[in-house]
Amino acid sequence: MRKEIKQFSINLKRLRIARGMSQAHLAAQLKVDKGYISRLEAGNKNPTLSTIANIAQALQTTVDKLVN
């Protein structure tokens, strides 16, 4: 797994949990399948920039905090 993808996955899970959100809740906000969020957190799926921006908005954070 590439370093950038691993870091995104770690940050996504950390921020989601810090906001008290389940994968199902985040998925519902983004109108995606819960399995998609699971695959993102496992580093098995590469999101588009648009998806990253939508995730950042749903988590009330910035794209920078998700990818760095």
Q: Could you read off the pLDDT of 31-62 as tens digits, one per residue?
A: 999 999 999 999 999 999 999 999 999 999 99
**Number of structural domains found in the chain:** 1
Residue 28, Cβ neighbours under 10 Å: how many? 14
Structure tokens at 68: 């760095």
* C-alpha dihedral (54, 39, 24, 26), degrees to nearest 10: -20
CATH number for the domain that contains residue 18: 1.10.260.40
Q: What is the span of the domain harbouring residue 13?
A: 3-67
> Do the beta carbons of residue 15 and residue 59 sit within 8 Å?
yes
Look at residue 1 and give its three-state secondary structure: coil
pTM above 0.85, yes or no: yes
Best CA proximity match to 63, nearest among 52, 31, 32: 52
